[in-house]
Structure 1
Amino acid sequence: MKNILKYSLLILLYITFSLSSANLLAQNKKGAGADRKKAEQAKITLFEKTFKTKKLDSIEIYLNQFLKRYPAEPVGSRFGSDVLYGDIGQRMAEEKRWDKYEFYLSKLSNAASTELDYGIAVDLTKTGSDLNVAEHLALRAIMGYEKDNAADLPKDGKPDSTFIKNEEEQARGIFRRVYINGKPDSTLLNNEKIRKYGSMAGLYAEIAYHNKHYTLGLPYALKAKDILGDKAEELYLKLLAQTAEPAVALSAIAVRYNNGRINDDEFPQIVAELYKKAYPERNDFKAYYEGLRSQLIAANKARISKERLSLPASDFSLLNLKGETVKLSDLKGKTVVIDFWATWCVFCKKGFPAMQKVINSYSDNDKVVFLFINTQESLSEEARKKQIADYIVNSKFNFNVLFDTRKSPEYDVVTAYKVDGLPTKFVISPDGKVAFKDVGYAGSDEKLINDLTAMIELTR
Structure 2
Amino acid sequence: MKHTLIGLILIASIFSCKTEEKEQPLVLGDFEMSQETIVHNQPISITYNGNDKNMEAFYYQLKGYKAYPVDLNFENSTATIVIPDSITAVAFNFKVDGTYLNNDKKGYLFAVQDQEGIPVAGSQSSLEYYKTSYGEQYGLEGDNAIFVSTLIKEVNENAKVKEVWEDQYLNLILRNDREKGETIANKLAQEISSKKVLTEADYNQLHSIYSMTRKSNLADSLAAIATEKFPKGKIKKQILMNQFYDAKTLEEKEVVFNELHTNFDMEPSLSYAASNMASEHFKAGDMEAFKQYADKIESPSDKAGMYNSVAWPLAEKGEHLETAAEISKASLELMKAQQNSTEGKPEYYSEKQHKKNLQRSYNMYADTYALIQYKLGNTKEAITYQAQAIGDGLNTEINERYIEFLVADKQYERANEKANVFLNAGHGTEKMTALYRKSYAQAHPNATDFDAIIANIEQKSRNKALDNLKKEMLDDAAPAFELKNLDGKTVSLESLKGKTVILDLRATWCGPCKASFPGMQQVVEKYEGDENVVILFVDTFEDGANREQDVAQFITDNKYDFHVLIDGKIKDSDKYEVANKYGISGIPTKIVIGPNGRIKFKSVGFSGSNDKLKQEMDLMIDLVKS
Secondary structure at 2:308 match in 1:
helix
Residue 373 of structure 2 aligns with which residue? Answer: 211
**Alignment deviations for residues 216-246 of structure 1 (CA, whole Å, 9 cap, x no partner):** 1223333454xx4234686355224322544
CA distance in 2, matches of 1:391, 1:98: 34
Shift, 1:338, TM fit: 0.7
Q: 1:191 to 1:394 in 2, by over 3 A?
A: closer
- Which residue does the alignment assign to 2:477? 312
Q: Which has the larger radius of gyration?
A: 1
- What whole-Å deviation, never above 9, does each CA across 1:201-224 have from its counterpart, x for those lacking one? 663353122431331122333345
CA contact (8 A) 1:339 1:373 kept: yes
1:430 alignment counterpart: 595
Deviation at 1:333, TM superposition (A): 3.0
Distance 2:594 2:525 in 1: 20
Query: What secondary structure is seen at the aligned counterpart in 1 of 2:535?
Result: strand
Superposed displacement of residue 195, structure 1: 8.1
In the TM superposition, what is the alpha-carbon distance from 1:441 to its structure 2 partner? 3.7
The separation in 2 between residues aligned to 1:142 and 1:349, in whole angstroms, is 28
Instruction: Give SS of 2:562's match.
Output: coil
The answer to whether structure 1 residue 275 and structure 2 residue 432 are counterparts is no
Question: SS of the residue aligned with 2:521?
Answer: helix
Equivalent runs, 1:5-24 vs 2, <5 Å: none
Do 1:132 and 1:211's aligned partners in 2 also have CA atoms closer than 8 Å? no
Partner of 1:255 in structure 2? 421
Does the CA contact (< 8 Å) of 1:241 and 1:274 recur in 2? no
Deviation string, structure 1 residues 137-157 (Cα, Å, up to 9, x no partner): 5557767998x899x79xxxx
Q: Which residue of 2 aligns with 1:401?
A: 564
Provide the rounded CA distance (Å) in 2 between the counterparts of 1:211 and 1:429.
49
SS at match of 2:603: strand
Identity of aligned residues (%): 26
Residue from 117, 125, 134 that aligns with 2:311: 125
What SS class does the counterpart of residue 211 from structure 1 fall into?
Answer: helix
Map 1:321-332 onto structure 2 (within 5 A).
321-322=486-487, 324-332=489-497
Displacement of 1:427 after TM fit?
Answer: 0.6
Contact 1:131 1:207 in 2 (8 A): no
Structure 1 distance, partners of 2:547, 2:303, is 46
1:20-39, aligned counterparts within 5 Å? Answer: none
Looking at structure 2, the residues matched to 408 and 201 of structure 1 have their Cα atoms a distance apart, in angstroms, of 44
CA spacing shift, 1:224–1:423, aligned 2, 3 Å: closer
Code of the aligned partner of 2:500: T
Shift of 1:311: 1.0
- How far apart are the structure 2 equivalents of 1:356 and 1:251? 33
> 1:230 aligns to what SS in structure 2?
coil
Decide whether the 8 Å contact of 1:377 with 1:384 is kept in 2.
Answer: yes
Summarize the Cα distance change of 1:93–1:322 in structure 2 as closer, same or farther, 3 Å threshold. Answer: closer
Which of 361, 367, 388 pairs up with 2:526? 361
In 1, Cα distance between equivalents of 2:558 and 2:338: 51
C-alpha distance in 2 between matches for 1:194 and 1:392: 37
Comparing 416-425 with 116-125, greater Cα deviation is found at: 116-125
Q: Secondary structure at the match of 1:355?
A: helix
Alpha-carbon contact 1:340-1:375 (below 8 Å) kept = yes
Q: CA deviation at 1:370?
A: 0.6
Instruction: Look up the match of 2:502.
Output: 337
Q: 2:502 touches 2:590 (CA, 8 Å); kept in 1?
A: yes
Distance 1:429 1:98, change over 3 A: same
Deviation at 1:417, TM superposition (A): 1.9
Residue of structure 1 aligned with 2:325, choices 125, 132, 135: 135
In the superposition, relative to structure 1, how do residues 199 and 217 fare at CA in structure 2: closer, same or farther (>3 Å)?
farther
Q: Partners of 1:345 and 1:100 in 2: how far apart?
A: 30
Written as runs of structure 1 = structure 2, the 5 A alignment for 1:125-274 is 125-128=311-314, 130-136=320-326, 138-139=328-329, 196=358, 200=362, 203-212=365-374, 213-225=378-390, 228-231=391-394, 235=398, 238-244=401-407, 245-246=411-412, 248-262=414-428, 267-274=429-436
Give the deviation of 1:305 after TM superposition.
Answer: 2.9
Q: Using a 3 Å threshold, how does the CA distance of structure 1 residues 126 and 449 change in structure 2: closer, same or farther?
A: same
Whether the 8 Å CA contact 1:373–1:404 is kept in 2: the answer is yes
The structure in which a higher percent of residues are strand is 2
What is the CA–CA distance in structure 1 between the aligned matches of 2:302 and 2:507, rounded to whole Å?
38
Tell whether the 8 Å contact from 1:392 to 1:399 is kept in structure 2 after alignment: yes
Residue pair 1:340, 1:425 contacting (<8 A) in 2 also: yes
Secondary structure, aligned partner of 1:338: strand
Give 1:98 shift: 6.9
Q: Partner amino acid for 2:476?
A: L
Between Structure 1 and Structure 2, the one with more helix by share is 1
- Cα–Cα, structure 1 residues 318 and 145, in superposed 2: closer, same or farther, change >3 Å? closer
RMSD of Structure 2 on Structure 1 (CA)? 5.2
TM-score relative to the length of structure 1: 0.55
Structure 1, gaps ≥5 residues long = 1-53, 56-77, 79-86, 154-188
Which whole-Å deviations, capped at 9, do the CAs of 1:353-403 have from their partners, x for residues lacking one? 2211112222343322111223455455xx554444444344332222234
Counterpart position of 2:40: none
Cα 1:324/1:149, change in 2 over 3 Å: closer
Aligned to 2:580: 415
Q: Which has the higher contact order (CA 8 A, sep 6+)?
A: 1
Secondary structure at the residue paired with 2:325? helix
Q: Is 1:371 the equivalent of 2:558?
A: no
Number of residue pairs matched by the alignment: 335
CA contact (8 A) 1:257 1:295 kept: no
Q: 1:101 to 1:304 in 2, by over 3 A?
A: same
SS in 2 for 1:351: helix
